[in-house]
Every structure is written in structure tokens, then in C-alpha cells.
């Protein structure tokens, strides 16, 4: 029950933070960019026959996420160590 209300408060906070975005007009991608993305998807589908591109992109995304988290940790630790009087 407490978890439900905590999640509900979290959702309300997120909607409060993102509510200014709803004031922006709805935009769409240009026709050229959409066509380019479609063509790139066709090329990736050709490679998917003999090389699992989805799996490779997922692994690449996981590696980038882990490295980014480690980089953020090191950055926060470096900033923490630079504050005088903490150590």
C-alpha cells in the first residue's frame, strides 16, 4: 500500500516536471529524415539475415550504459573529494 502511494507521488512529480513540455506545439520529423531512417532500417534488416544486429545493438547499449554509470560515479567521487573539509 505504501509502495503504491510512493509510486503515485513519483508519477505526479514527474508529470509536474514534464507539464511545461505539453505547452510546446506538436512537431514531426521532416520527410527526408523519415525516408533516411526507413532506408537505414532496410539496410540493417539485410544484415540481420546473417548477423544479429538487434542483439549487437542491445549489447552495445548495455556497455555504454555501464561505462556511462562508471564515468558518472568517478565524476561525482572526484567532485566530492574536491570539497574541502570532507576528507
Query: Higher model confidence: residue 49 or residue 31?
Result: 31
Which pLDDT tens digit goes with each residue over 16-37? 988 888 888 887 878 899 999 9
Identify whether 36 is part of a domain. no
Identify whether 30 is part of a domain. no
Query: How many independent structural domains does the chain possess?
Result: 1
Identify whether 24 is part of a domain. no
Identify whether 7 is part of a domain. no
Identify whether 57 is part of a domain. yes
Closest listed residue to residue 80, CA positions, set 1, 24, 72, 58: 72
Domain of residue 61, residue span: 52-87
Please give the model's pTM, rounded to 2 decimal places: 0.45
Identify whether 79 is part of a domain. yes
Distances (CA, A) of 31 to 28, 37, 40: 9, 10, 14
pLDDT of residue 70: 97
Distances (CA, A) of 14 to 18, 19, 27: 6, 8, 22
Identify whether 43 is part of a domain. no
pLDDT of residue 35: 93
**pLDDT surpasses 80 at 13:** yes
Asked if residues 87 and 81 have their Cβ atoms less than 8 Å apart, the reply is yes
**pLDDT surpasses 90 at 72:** yes
Amino acid at each position: 500500500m505504501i509502495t503504491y502511494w510512493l509510486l503515485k507521488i513519483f508519477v505526479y512529480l514527474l508529470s509536474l516536471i514534464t507539464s511545461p513540455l505539453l505547452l510546446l506545439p506538436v512537431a514531426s520529423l521532416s520527410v527526408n529524415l523519415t525516408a533516411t531512417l526507413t532506408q537505414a532500417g532496410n539496410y540493417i534488416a539485410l544484415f540481420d539475415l546473417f548477423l544479429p544486429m538487434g542483439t549487437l545493438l542491445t549489447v552495445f547499449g548495455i556497455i555504454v550504459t555501464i561505462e556511462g554509470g562508471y564515468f558518472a560515479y568517478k565524476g561525482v567521487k572526484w567532485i566530492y573529494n574536491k570539497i574541502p573539509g570532507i576528507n
